[in-house]
Amino acid sequence: MLLVLLALIALQDAPAVPAEAGPPLVEIPGPIERRAPEAEALGHTGDVTVEVVVQPDGSKGPVTVVETSRSDLLDAEAARLVAEAGFRAPAQATRYRVTVGFQGADEALTCAAMARQVRWFQQTWPERPLKDMALFNMSSGILLVAGVPAAPNRDTARAAINQRQRLEAEFPALADQCEREPGRPWYPMLGDWARRQGGG
């Protein structure tokens, strides 16, 4: 909570974004990353963008979700965090827009958690590809960093792109495998997959 407070206080001097009506809008750069264990246990991940109006006396209006994560748990947690955050009183009523990110991935992620995230994303965002998942991008980034040669060149860059495309194509099958091996740690399994592909 202290990190959220410090981030919000430090970033309140961001330039105002022109607003159509009402108080001027200040977008807090972000997202501010948080954990939501109850939602993570269900596989829910994503970003929530909320707005709140802060008055010159420091009082706040209600927090409004302006971009949902499509998870009631995450949306409520983001609203709660911003409602409880301390804002420095502005000179005039000001509307703040804050994005809170709930990525749900850490170094101890199990296959069970990976599979829950994939299945939730597929059900919640059927119009979006899995490469839009934070976990996919984190996994792809780990493989990229792990495979960076001492002297990168065009061929190694092409190999990294090919590996990302293979991972995208095989991510659903990896989620299936994770469902069969729920206790297995995700990142070592990802490393095994990369070695089998000749990419790690």
If you write DSSP's letter for every residue of 7-71 in order, what string do you get?
A: HHHHHTTSPEEP-SSSSPEEEPPSPEEE--HHHHHTT--EEEEEEEEE-TTS-B---EEEE--S-
Contact yes or no for 118/132 (Cβ under 8 A): no
Cα distances (Å, whole numbers) of residue 187 to 51, 105, 135, 174: 36, 10, 11, 11
pTM for this predicted structure:
0.78
Q: Provide the number of structural domains found in the chain.
A: 2
Which of 102, 121, 151 marks a domain boundary?
A: 102
Q: Are residues 130 and 174 in the same domain?
A: yes
Q: Which residues of the chain have pLDDT under 50?
A: 1-12, 17, 19, 199-200
Which of 102, 133, 152 marks a domain boundary?
A: 102
pLDDT tens profile 75-99: 999 999 999 998 889 999 999 999 9
- Kindly report the average pLDDT of the chain as a whole number: 87
Domain that holds residue 66: 2-102
Q: Are residues 74 and 145 in the same domain?
A: no
Dihedrals phi, psi of 84, to nearest 5 degrees: -90, -10
Q: Are residues 90 and 167 in the same domain?
A: no
Q: Are residues 120 and 85 in the same domain?
A: no
Which of 102, 126, 147 marks a domain boundary?
A: 102
pLDDT recorded at residue 46: 93
| 37: amino acid identity, one letter | P
